[in-house]
Amino acid sequence: MSASENYDSAFARLAKSRFRSRFHLSESDRKYIEKNGMETIRRHCEDFIRTRLAPANPPNDGKQTPMRGHPVFIAQHATATCCRNCLAKWWKVPRGVSIDSDRQRAIVDFLMAWIGREFAVTE
C-alpha cells in the first residue's frame, strides 16, 4: 500500500470524528502559506514536532499545541498529532518514550499531506 493510500485511509478515519473534522485552514493560514511557502511550513512543522511532541514527556503535554496561530497547529489538531495522548489513542504511539527521527518524519509527512489537501481546496 502506498503512502497516499495510507493517508486516504487515515483521513477517512479522522473525518468520522466530529472534533477532528471541524479543523480547516483559515484565510489567514492560507495567506501565511502563500507568503512563506511549503518548505518553510515543513521546517516549522519539523521544529514543532521535534520540540513539542517528540520528547518522552513534553512540557505542558495536552496543552502544548494552540488551537490557532499557525497552519501546523491546525493540522495537528485535525490529524490527532497535537499531544502524546492523541498520538497514543489514534496512532498507538506509546507515551513516555521519545519519538525517533523516522517516526517524526512520518508525522511531519502526514501533517504536510493534510496541509497540502486543505490548501488545494481553494487553489
**Domain ranges in the chain?**
3-120
Helix then strand then coil, % of the chain, to nearest 5: 65, 0, 35
Q: What is the pTM of this model?
A: 0.91
Name the nearest CA neighbour of 112 among 43, 13, 65.
43
Q: What is the pLDDT of residue 1?
A: 38
Q: What is the pLDDT of residue 3?
A: 61
Give mean pLDDT in consecutive 10-residue pieces for the chain, a chain of 123 residues: 72 95 96 97 98 93 87 97 95 94 96 93 55
Q: What is the pLDDT of residue 59?
A: 86
Unique residue bearing C-alpha cell 495567506: 31
Q: What is the pLDDT of residue 121?
A: 64
